[in-house]
Every structure is written in structure tokens, then in C-alpha cells.
Structure 1
Amino acid sequence: MEYRGASAYNDDQFFKNYMTRRNREESPNNMIEKPIFLEMIGDVKGKKVLDLGCGDAKFGVELLQKGCASYDGVEGSVNMAKEATKSLTGTVGNVHLSPMETWDFQTGSYDLVVSRLALHYLSELRDIFQETHKSLGSNGKFIFSVQHPVLTSSIKSAAASSSKADWIVDDYFNSGERVEPWIDKKIVKYHRTIEEYFQLLKQAGFMIEDIREGTPRVEEFTSESEYKRRMRIPLFLMFACKK
């Protein structure tokens, strides 16, 4: 069985295994992606924030603690939405159970739209980018991360080993569906080149202000060997865009 979009997280065993994996101290999401993502966002005080594919919304809690005026998380998984509701208890944040593709984007409602490692699960991004652009107010920003295209290009490395020493980059310019073995399940992701992300953003009307590839920072690591391993290949691709 192949899982698409947020459906994998509705499998209770997968959800449990994922949460254990995601919250481990050495998670590259925490050690590499998150510090850079926060740097790209900058000051959120007084901003209205929309989070596409918000997961457990712990990131939303952090943004609220940093002073954002409001937070709306959109999540397509029932299990994840329940977890997000727990995280946001006692805050002004809200979670909405909805696939990103069918979310009702309100014109000019947000100052900042974020999405962390969710958009590579969507088969089409053109409409999402256009709707995101529409939902932002004047000078609003859209900041997102995806799995780096050198990883999504081929699943050969993922199929060979869960703890890789070498990586295979293949079929890079052939965009489209990939079925990747992940946490004992088959997960559908969509590969796009860096150029394709860039062009889709431009076509939606965005000005691209910054691009990052998640260069590891030695101060975030407790293991020198893990730092050296993570220096070998990029795991993340991040864009900061302005309306």
C-alpha cells in the first residue's frame, strides 16, 4: 500500500513511529532545518501567520511565544490535527483539519505563510502558490522548506539503507512521483528541480528573496561524526519569498 499526502499519519503505528523519530534529539529537522528557517522568518511580532501542513503545531506554539498576533495551522491528517489541537491548548492558535489543496485561502488575510517539509507531498504546486500569494497582504512573506531535490530525485539510496553512507542522484530532470520506503511504509513524494520551484514561485507573482540549502552548523551538533556526515549532502531546500 502506498500512502499519499497526509494519509500516512492516519495509520496509528506509522504516526507513533514518526513522532518518536521526529522528536529525537538528533533529528536533522531540529538541528539543521529549524534554526535556518527561524532565521529566514525573522521577527514575527504582531504578524498573522498561516502554517500549511502544520503537523503537531509545536512550531506554531513557538511562533506565538515569539509574539505573532495569530496562528492558523492547516493539517490534512486527523491524528496530526488532534496532536496540534493539544499543542495549541491555552493559546490563541487554531488548527484546521483540511488538505492544503482544498483549504479556503482568504484574500489578504496573512502577513506570513510558512510551510515546513510538507509541499513535496503535493502533486501540484501551481495553484497552492497562487492561492498563497492571494492570501498574503501587501509585502507579505512566504517561507517554506522541502526535502532537497538531490534526495527526491531517486529513491535508490533510500531503498538500499536507512542510514546511508553514500547517496545516489539520478533522474534529476525527470520531475514527478517517487515512491519512497520510509519508516516501514511506502510514501509518495513528488520530485521537482530547484529551477522548477523557482519558476513556479515567479509565475505565482512572488519575488524570491533568499534560498538556503541547510548548511549544517557545527554548534548545533553534539557528535562530530554526525556533523561531518551531514556536511556531505543537502537534506533541505528553503525559499523566502515576498509578495
Structure 2
Amino acid sequence: MRSYHGSDFYDNDTNFKKYMERRQGQENANDTLEKPVIWQLLEDISDRHVLDLGCGDAGFGVELLNKGCAAYVGIEGSRNMVEAASSNLADYNNGTVVHTRIEEFAYPRDSYDLVLSRLAIHYLQDIERVFQCIHQCLKRNGRFVFSVEHPVITSTLQPSGTRTNWVVDNYFSEGYREQQWLGGTVQKYHRTVEDYFRAMQDAGFIVEQLRESRPVREHFLNEETYERRCRIPLFLFLAGRKSV
């Protein structure tokens, strides 16, 4: 079975179709757990210039533009996702998508008020360099907000499916992991909570918030799904600010 690096996974048409169907599913984890926290961390985005790393189909970019951000640039490595993003942004003169990997983007200095990344950074091997690039491309007092799969999940990745129990193992063995997901093998990188926090500080950010995906009952229709989500955190969030 082929192993995919990050965005390459979605250039397999079967994987792309399965993923888009999954995202439309009722009570999917992205919409019930991850997105609500992201919105809380973003604060006021009015008139902000936003860079979105790993933007996918830019559906969230459309939401940001509709809420008043001045300009939106999405970075995406998957050809299929870029086509979907271009379609979603077609009616917005101030919304664009760039087809490149997060690691290869030429980060323009002092250009953005907000850099955002939702569930993409755990695909990157060298986050230290990427975080430094993000820091330099932000304006003074610009903010960096991101989410990743929680380290208790990435420590021991398991085959896809509904879990009934979770095992945390090899937690302090940082590095490469593989996960069977949607019929394919995905490459990811495990880091501890401390690793992410330290990488933010080393890049020059003042870390303002650290959050986990504590479920909120009102976001769920099904009591069983809510109770299952209360058992373990699926996502980790960090928000930092550039002070100089």
C-alpha cells in the first residue's frame, strides 16, 4: 500500500472523494470539536490580512472573507484541493489560493496580520524552520493560530475506525509515524505538547493560549457521540503573537 506525504494523499481521487464525503458527515470532529475552538482563538478578523497554511478546499477561507477579513491567501499542496479551493474562492476578488507545500512557500516579510493552520502542521518534519518563516512574515503584533492532532493521538496512531479504547505509548519518542486512514497510509510526525510550545517560543512568539478539544454538548446531536468525545482530546491548539 502506498504511503502518502501530507497533501499528496488527496491527489489520489479515491482518497479525495472519501475525505470530502467524511467532512460532510453529521457530527464530524472537525466541525464539532476543532472549528469552534479555532473561532474562539482567532478573535476579531475584521480588515485582517490572513495566510492559511494547508487550506484544503478553502471553505474556511470563504467563512473568513464573509466575516470581513481584508484579504485571504490559502496555501495548499494538493492539486485536487487547489481546484476545489479555486472554485470556492471564485467570487472573491480578495481571496486566492497558491499551489505549493507549506515548507516551500516563499513567506513575504511583514505581510500578514494572521497566520492560520488547521490540522496540517503534524504533517511537517521541520516545524522549527516553518515557525521561523511564519514569524518573519507576520506584521508587528501579528498572530499565529494553529491546530494539530493531539499528541496523545499521534503518539500511537491506530487504524481508522471507531475506537472504543485509547492507548498512549511511546509518547516521548518524537518523530515519524504512519496511519492507516480512509484506505490509504498517511505519513505524520509526532511531537509532545512541550515540543510544540517550545517551537513557538524558539521562533520568537509570545504564546498566549494553549487549548484542547474539550467537547461542548450543544455542538452534538447524539449523546453517545458527545460522551465518546469526552474521553480523550483529539486536537491541540496554540496561539501566539509576534511582539517585534
> 2:12 maps to what in 1?
11
> 2:217 maps to what in 1?
218
Matches within 5 A, 1:163-242: 163-242=162-241
Cα RMSD (Å) of the superposition? 0.7
Give 1:23 deviation, angstroms: 2.0
1:154 pairs with 2:153: no
Q: What TM-score do the two structures reach when normalised by structure 2?
A: 0.97
Q: Per-residue CA shift, 1:50-78, capped at 9, x if unaligned?
A: 00000000000000001000000000000
Q: Per-residue CA shift, 1:84-142, capped at 9, x if unaligned?
A: 00110111200000000010000000000000000001111011100000000010000
| DSSP-derived class of the 1:166 partner | coil
Give 1:25 deviation, angstroms: 2.2
> 2:116 maps to what in 1?
114
Unaligned regions of 5+ residues in structure 1, if any? none
- Distance in 1 between the 2:183 and 2:6 partners? 16
Identity %: 47
Q: Per-residue CA shift, 1:133-172, capped at 9, x if unaligned?
A: 00000100000000000000012xx23x611010111000
Q: Per-residue CA shift, 1:194-231, capped at 9, x if unaligned?
A: 00001111000001000111100000000011100000
The alignment of Structure 1 onto Structure 2 pairs a total of residues equal to: 240
1:124 pairs with 2:123: no
Q: What TM-score do the two structures reach when normalised by structure 1?
A: 0.98
| DSSP-derived class of the 1:32 partner | helix
1:141 is matched by which residue type in structure 2?
R
| DSSP-derived class of the 2:179 partner | strand
Unaligned regions of 5+ residues in structure 2, if any? none
| DSSP-derived class of the 1:219 partner | helix
Q: Which residue of 126, 132, 135 corresponds with 1:133?
A: 135
> 2:65 maps to what in 1?
64
1:99 pairs with 2:98: no
